[in-house]
Structure 1
Amino acid sequence: MTAPSRGPHPEPPADAEGREPEAAEDRSAAGSGVPGETPAAEGREVRTADPDGAREESAPDAPDVSGSASEGPEASVASEKQPSEPGSEAEPDGSPEDPPAAEGGNSGNGDGGREAGQLSEAQAELAAQRELRAKIAQRKAERAGPVTAGERLSGSAAELLAAVRAVERGEKSGSAFFPAAAAAARPVETAPPRVTGPRPAPEAPAVVAGPAPEAVAAVRAVLARGRASEESAPAVVEALGERAAAVLQEDPWRLLAVPGVGPEQADSFAQVLLAGDCGPGDPRRTAALIVRELERAALRGDTAVPSSAVLAALAGRAVPDPDEALERAVADGVALAFPTDPADPADPTGPAGAVHETGAAPAGEGTEDPDGDEEAPTGPVLLSLDRYALAEESLADGLARLARSGPDTRWESVAEPTELTRALAAHGLVLHTGGEAARAEPAALAGAARSLGLTAVVAVHSEQAARALGPEAVTVAALLAGAAGPGRDEDGAWALDLLVVLDAPRLGVEPAAVLVESLPDGARLVLGGDPGQLGPAGAGDVFTDLLASGVCPRIASRIPDPGPVGELVSGIGVGELNQVEAPGKEVVIVPVRDAGEAVHRTVQLVADSIPRAIGVPADRTQVITVAHHGSAGTRALNTALKARLNPGPGRFGGYDPGDRIAYTPAPGRTVPGTVVSADAAGLRLDCEGTAVTVARDRVGATLRHGWALTAHQAAALRWPAAVVVLPGDAVDALSRPWVYTAFGRAERHLSVVHGAEAALPAAVATIPGVPRTTRLRSLLTALLSASGGQEA
């Protein structure tokens, strides 16, 4: 990234995988110690082996990796959700979690879109969703006996989207008040717009273009007056919309809506632009800090935050009276406050929690004083941005509607009934759990529906999985965009009887809300997935909340994942790192002493050992590591792998034809692909059969090399062979869900480049992952209890 010319450095944004970039997974210290060989062992002494059974004769510098080390559960490792270290740069997939509602995050595009004929694809899609939501709202209003989702937050689906857009274009943030010097910021990387398309490759490639030149020019002028980096102008327009220049002049702290901008930079910009006519208690600044804290929590997956955490953040940024600032922000609608549910075991602010009691809360939830004036409740309070609060309310409304659906006798006529078909005959909402092999069970429902004359769609999260399942399968992104799947009726509902969503643990609250809102009355919904995997990149944890709520049937598959890899992964799912028999070298452990050796051995495995011994070519082998940064992160590994597999000068933004890439059309969504060519229009890609052209000024924001990915990027994808790199300097990032997800990306062969010593079995045994703070579970329980709905 180009060095800044003026202004303070931007702070590191949290990445789209739901964590901060420079997190504990990015360590600089070299690893030490080497455990043994072949299958993952429970502290047993083993020896190293390559898949082909021999060391690399062609690499005289290959280190001697014989030796052993015991592994024990006493090793202490931290959760993979840790705060970021300062000083990192924004990443293509590490921008703040701002995808559109259909993708589980913020879009990062303000409401001031381009004029007709100049709309970007992402903006056009949002406009279409706005119209669709209005139709859905009308349909829900006309339906007899609608479910009331809450007295204050029972607005229509159109209001939900309006709230989303309002927060995006009105976002404020700022922080530690005014650094002494005002040097300019580094150019800020943009939040990539969403690009979707039908599964067949389109005749004309999708083009990812930048913002309108005139809007960028206007923002440049404002940034120059505020002594901020003018190179950040395109990113500002992407985040704030075409009226970004006017927005910044009215409220300079809205600069914090731009990925990579930190509070110090926003404060410096505001001080210069407002000529000192502001202070640390400026309402615009305090509101911005609150929004920033809630958005950062959303990147970690939380839809709500204890007020104590927000107050601590305000105090840390020199806000004179944090309590008053918080009350003012809630009164102004910057955030919504909700009393917590002490009976909810998942609520981190329950009776034992230390949550600040604030006097601000939604209307209708307070008590009355002796004079008859309504007061807010006293007790633990959760704060939420209205976009997430409304999404959870709308999702709870729709799920409760499905859960209350009566029997559908048509499903009783299936020729070969199964547990799933019997559950669908009685319930409108069904959960299915199991591993990779178990996906066949819910996918088979499409054929059963056809035999009954019903319309069914199977939705998955990757083009790869959609192709494997057949013509009934579509991607969630394409379904939400209207590029695939059934048509909609005049009310905006899909013309289908059954929707099956696989990889449901990847669903954030916002895309889940759009999916459920689009289901017609009487339709059935099956959510299937593996609860042991990493959660969604966006805010919310829908599948986990539904499993815990018990409001619908859960069908657990009895189909085991096959082979040594399946056996190993199944054990990890229950907290056991077992030694497995691998006669065909399906699982190989390659111990390493440090990160440099880990990179060297990884290249050997991908380029030589696995193709020769296993028969899987390098382009079908995926490297998975814990982070982008670090001595054995994706950056270091991709550099080494490119030099070996596709050397070239990187004439177009560091890329050459034939490079494997990871394309991020929206934060949290990664599509693998290959560079085809480059010309004046941009970089031309082949992304799983879809042609995409990325404009030159969007390459840095949406692309990275893809020989090596993180486990979050690789989730919902599989390859014939996978090499999982566990350097010793990244052990703090390990958890059971991370290991389970990473190891499960391999279909036939798994190599583990192992420098984590005892931290690996300790993570599998003792670190189940960090729970997310959400309201969906309590909302569902309250809705169904109030209406007499039965629990499964």
Structure 2
Amino acid sequence: MPGAGRRVGPGAPLPRSRLEHPVTTEQTPAGDTEGAASPAPTPAEGTSGGATEVATGAAGDGGAEVSGGGAEPTAQAAETAGDRRDDAGAPDDGEPRSGGRTDGADASARTPSAGAPEDAGAVSGTGDGGAEVDAGDVENGGPAAEAGASGSAEGASAPSEAEAELAAQRVERERIARRKAERQGPVESGGKLSGRAADLLAAVRAVESGEKASAPTFVEAAPAPRRPAPEPVRRPEPVPVTAAPDAETVGAVWAVLAEGGAPEALAPQAAAALGDGAEDTLRADPWQLLRVAGVRPEQADGFARALLGAECRPDDERRGRALTVWLLEQAAVAGHTALDLPALTEALGKRTVPDPDEAVQSALAEGDALVFQDALEEPGAQSAAAGTDEEEVPVRVLAGLERYALAEESLADALARLVNSVPKETEEPWEAAVGALTRGAADLARQVAGHGLVLHTGGEAARSEPAALLGAARAAGLRAFAVCHTPDGARRLAAYLGEEPGGAVGTVAGLLSGASGPGRDAEGALDLDLLIVLDAPQLDVEAAAMLAESLPDGARLVLSGDPAVLWSAGPGRVFADLLAVPACPQVASRVPDPGPLGELVSGIGVGELVQVEAPGKEIVIVPVRDAGEAVHRTVQLVADSVPRAFGVPPEETVVITPGHGGAAGTRALNTVLKERLNPGPGRFGGFDPGDRIVHSPAPGRTVPGRVVRADAEGLHLECAGAPVVVPRELVESRVRHGWALTAHQAVGGRWPAAVVVLPGDAANVLTRPWVYTAFGRADRHLSVVHGVEQALPRAVAESVAKPRTTRLRTLLRVQLPPAG
């Protein structure tokens, strides 16, 4: 698609409406040309080609492996059997396989015995026996035989030179006579054949004569034994500790903040965000204070006025540049990886920036932001451009931060590499895995066997299909692993396999950190044939890029999840973008979630809030008039009603509410729930031993746990069965009480009982994905504290997910052809 991925360099005039598009080099899918090295695909202009590695040709077909970073081919595609040698004349030990692995078989020419399996690393000659040596050329008077006979005669009687010459002539005449006699006699058909060709001829003759063949000639050769995966070295999960700036740096920053009237509490954060020389940076550009989380533009303006005095002006170039970066960072918090340029300039205008275009140009010149132009994907865009030249295809101009732009480009490159590196023919272990499964799991395995990337959709019960695929793949000898968004998801997936988490199931964060998983090979790639990622909608663009880049060539990637749940907390909508691009197989599960809860959630997924029969009181609606009553009834349900009626203790019940603030937000609910369930003075930052908490080691990651104790090291927690120590200075930003959560914090987990609180002031923030996610966290019982009246069915029917601006879909349309 023209125009995708084109970057506009700093200093160039920003396009307004229709812009010229770069010409995209057409790339040949891997394996289309056998026996020749395909050229490395040219990435779209402006993409990160240095990290791209595309394997061309299937394993064993002589294709050369080409690296986007400029690596030389690892094998010559035009070599033939018998000529395969390295520069020193030694035999080549085989071509690199997918993922950099090398079979131990020798790829040099040799004479296989009849019926012997062909070597997987050798290049076959033309026809059966094409690389063999005919035995008839060396028997009875061949060069070796003659030399041996002559040498024996000479050593026995030491004849004269004339006698030796006569003897040699006599031997030659006898050999010529034998050859003439052989030509005059009948010639047996196939007499010169050997190896597999001779076996095939013998089998044909046996069938023609009515006899039984002596050997199963047509049985496929046994595959070469697979290289066993080495046992990875398990490392304990590192405790996420951010290196705090030294006291001298914090003191210097505090002095600058105090001079500008900013609060002292910002000093450690400003020193950490701005790094070395933070105080000099703030004096030179006071608006850099916007890089500190939580600082608003009006606060930065006040700080700048205090430091600069009369020199502080709204049209200051530094102010426009800092506000541009701040707006892009706020967009990333909302899930966008880029912003439309008109939306960005409009937002800058609302912040009293006199010349928004100049502010964007300044940010581009300093490298703080990037600008792209991508072809429009709206339904009317192509029809509007029909019949026009390629240069007039309409585009949209986007601006974004470099980290997210590079992540999307790297993800698109890595997915294209996986799709194009799968061998054309299905390998035997994959055939065994498919044969061991039935119904939906077999359909999923069949697609995975032949494709490098497969999408799988379904609800909670549908997790049984990727679980069955994981078990069958491991039983067939494939190196397979599965990851989930949360430890609770990993526990539930491992339960399908009948084992504990850790062996074949882990979390995304654990796999990327090396705390769990199969380990990595010599090239740094995950030592895997199959990676299954559940809870795929929770993958942000950076985590998805790291996973895809870590897989070796030839590996399969399965992304499985429920597309109706809330999207990732981080920027991007990876799973939704992939579903919108028909570049890989998509398998929709037909396994429904059981019971009244499954029926209710399924209806919400299609926009209908249906009334379902719940004879066991699986669903209870508790109407309330205001937020105070909502809090009172919530505590009553968690502490008394649900334990008494359903036998679910309070520690196994989750409370879900739309936000942290407000009269019925997580803060208010956690305060009253702590007073009722675990009262205490809160001696360490408001926490006491036994408190339920959620630990957020990184943005977008929330792990439930409980407080064990507190000491000089920090707050000791137990999260997902593992001990975690949070330093004192990080407790406030990383630990919250966890009886009540938001839907984003609860996604990826399930509890025996859930109480969903919908106070009246939450009517405007409810959406279908939020309701679907919150109601779907209950396994056995759901109580809805209902105070929004008709806003709930209206949100389910009309309020779909808010759109996110990303570039991944456009990049994928360029790099991946439509799936057949």
Deviation at 1:269, TM superposition (A): 2.1
Give 1:295's aligned residue.
329
Mapped pair 1:511 → 2:543: yes
Post-superposition shift, 1:581?
Answer: 1.4
Relative to structure 1, the CA distance from residue 533 to residue 205 in structure 2 (aligned partners, 3 Å threshold; closer, same or farther) is closer
Once residues 200 and 731 of structure 1 are traced to their aligned partners in structure 2, the CA distance between those partners, rounded to angstroms, is 48
Choose 710-719 or 149-158, whichever is displaced more. 149-158
Aligned partner of residue 380 in structure 1, secondary structure: strand
Contact kept? 2:237, 2:510, Cα under 8 Å: no
Where 1:496 maps in the other structure, the secondary structure is: coil
- Paired residue for 2:431? 412
Name the structure 1 match of 2:150.
Answer: none
Q: Among 653, 657, 671, which residue is 2:685 paired with? A: 653
Query: For the Cα contact (< 8 Å) 1:208–1:695, is it kept in 2?
Result: no
- Residue-by-residue CA offset, 1:708-729 (whole Å, 9 max, x unaligned): 0000110001111000001111
Q: Among residues 249, 253, 262, which one is paired with 2:283 in the alignment?
A: 249
Of the three residues 403, 419, 423, the one matched with 2:419 is 403
Residues 205 and 392 (structure 1 numbering): CA distance in 2 closer, same or farther, change over 3 Å? closer
The 3-state SS of whatever aligns with 1:658 is coil
Q: Contact 1:505/1:544 (CA < 8 Å) preserved in 2?
A: yes
1:718 aligns with 2:742: no
Specify the alignment match of 1:429 in structure 2.
453
Contact 1:209-1:695 at 8 Å conserved across structures: no
Given the alignment of the two structures, is residue 791 of structure 1 paired with residue 791 of structure 2, yes or no?
no
Q: Is the 8 A contact 2:693 2:736 kept in 1?
A: yes
CA shift digits 1:458-495 (9 cap, x unpaired): 01111122233132111101111111112222322111
Q: Matched residues in 2 for 1:199 and 1:310: separation? A: 48
Give the one of 32, 43, 64 matched to 1:149. Answer: 43
After TM superposition, give the deviation of residue 615 of structure 1 in Å: 0.5
Residue 315 of structure 1 aligns with which residue?
349
Does 620-629 or 435-444 show the bigger shift?
435-444
Report deviation, 1:384. Answer: 1.4
Note closer, same or farther for the CA distance 1:436–1:201 as it changes in structure 2 (3 Å cut). farther
SS of the residue corresponding to residue 281 of structure 1 reads coil
Deviation for aligned residue 1:201? 11
**Counterpart amino acid of 2:473?**
A
Which of the pair has more CA radius of gyration? 2
Distance in structure 2 (CA, Å) of the matches to 1:351 and 1:331:
34
Where does residue 707 of structure 1 map in the other structure?
A: 739
Number of the residue aligned with 2:462: 438
Q: Residues 79-116 of structure 1: CA distance to partner in whole angstroms, max 9, x if unpaired? A: xxxxxxxxxxxxxxxxxxxxxxxxxxxxxxxxxxxxxx
Q: Distance in 2 between matches of 1:301 and 1:480?
A: 22
How do 1:205-604 and structure 2 match up within 5 A?
A: 210-345=244-379, 380-406=396-422, 407=424, 408-410=426-428, 411-414=430-433, 415-417=435-437, 418-468=442-492, 469=494, 470=501, 471-604=503-636
CA, structure 1 residues 336+413, in 2 after alignment: closer, same or farther (shift >3 Å)?
same
CA distance in 1, matches of 2:736, 2:345: 37
Cross-structure match for 2:91:
none
Shift of 1:202: 5.5
Distance (Å, rounded) in 1 between the aligned partners of 2:573 and 2:670: 31
Q: Deviation per CA, 1:587-607, whole angstroms, max 9, x where unpaired?
A: 111111111111000000000
Instruction: Find the aligned partners of 1:377 and 1:279 in 2 and give their Cα distance.
Output: 41
Alpha-carbon shift at residue 535 of structure 1 (Å) = 0.2
Unaligned runs of 5+ in 1: 1-142, 159-197, 353-365, 368-375
| Residue in 2 that maps onto 1:606 | 638
1:209 CA drift (Å): 6.5
Question: 1:222-263, CA deviations, whole angstroms, 9 ceiling, x for partnerless residues?
Answer: 222333222211111232234433332333222111111111
The Cα shift of 1:660 comes to 0.7
Sort the Cα spacing of 1:553 and 1:203 in 2 relative to 1 into closer, same or farther, 3 A: closer
Contact conserved, 1:207 with 1:693, CA < 8 A, in 2?
no
Say if 1:493 and 1:520, in contact at 8 Å, map to a contact too: yes
Cα drift, residue 153 of structure 1:
2.6
> Number of aligned pairs?
586
Query: Is 1:775 the equivalent of 2:807?
Result: yes
How far residue 207 of structure 1 moved from its aligned partner, in angstroms, is: 5.6
Alignment partners' CA distance in 1, 2:393 and 2:315: 26
2:656 is paired with a residue whose SS is strand
Contact 1:209–1:694, Cα closer than 8 Å, also in 2? no
Q: Deviations over 1:740-760 (max 9, x none)?
A: 000000011111111111011
Determine if contact 2:488/2:748 at 8 Å carries over to the other structure: no
Distance across 1 between alignment mates of 2:240 and 2:286 = 34
Q: 1:510 to 1:224 in 2, by over 3 A?
A: same
Aligned partner of residue 693 in structure 1, secondary structure:
strand
Shift of 1:377: 10
Distance in 2, matches of 1:250 and 1:227, equals 16
Q: Distance in 2 between matches of 1:276 and 1:491?
A: 58
Alignment of 1:744-783 (within 5 A): 744-783=776-815
Flag the 1:402–1:249 CA change in 2: closer, same or farther, 3 A: same
Shift of 1:386: 1.5
8 A contact 1:350–1:380 mirrored in 2: no
Is residue 234–residue 516 contact of structure 2 (8 Å, CA) maintained in 1?
A: no
Query: Which string of whole-angstrom CA distances, capped at 9 and with x for unpartnered residues, describes residues 627-648 of structure 1?
Result: 0011111111111111110111
Matching of residue 640 in structure 1 with residue 663 in structure 2: no
1:777 deviation in Å?
A: 0.8
Distance in 1 of aligned mates of 2:734 and 2:245: 14
CA 1:144–1:251 in 2, change beyond 3 Å: closer, same or farther? Answer: farther
Amino acid at match of 1:393: E
**1:542 shift after superposition:** 0.3
Counterpart residue identity of residue 482, structure 2: V
| Alpha-carbon distance between aligned partners in 2 of 1:339 and 1:635, rounded to the nearest angstrom | 43
Partner amino acid, structure 2, of 1:632: A
Q: Secondary structure at the match of 1:459?
A: strand
Shift of 1:283: 2.2
Q: Secondary structure at the match of 1:453?
A: coil
Q: Does 1:620 align with 2:652?
A: yes
SS at match of 2:300: helix
Give the whole-Å Cα distance in 2 for the aligned partners of 1:316 and 1:350: 35
- Please report the RMSD computed on the Cα atoms of aligned residues, expressed in angstroms: 2.7
- Tell me the SS of whatever aligns to 1:666: coil
In 1, distance between residues paired with 2:581 and 2:269? 41
Query: Residues of 1 paired with 2:393 and 2:472: CA distance?
Result: 51
Q: Which residue of 1 aligns with 2:89?
A: none
* Alignment partners' CA distance in 1, 2:770 and 2:751: 17
SS in 2 for 1:665: coil
SS at match of 1:636: helix
CA shift in 2, pair 1:152/1:204, >3 Å: closer
SS in 2 for 1:712: helix
CA offset digits 1:351-373 (Å, max 9, x no partner): 89xxxxxxxxxxxxx98xxxxxx
- Asked if structure 2 preserves the Cα contact closer than 8 Å seen for 1:212 and 1:242, the reply is no
Deviation, 1:157, is: 4.4
Q: What one-letter code is carried by the residue in structure 2 that aligns with 1:152?
A: G
Give the drift of 1:336. 1.9
Call closer, same or farther: CA 1:144–1:484 in 2, change over 3 Å: farther
SS in 1 for 2:311: coil
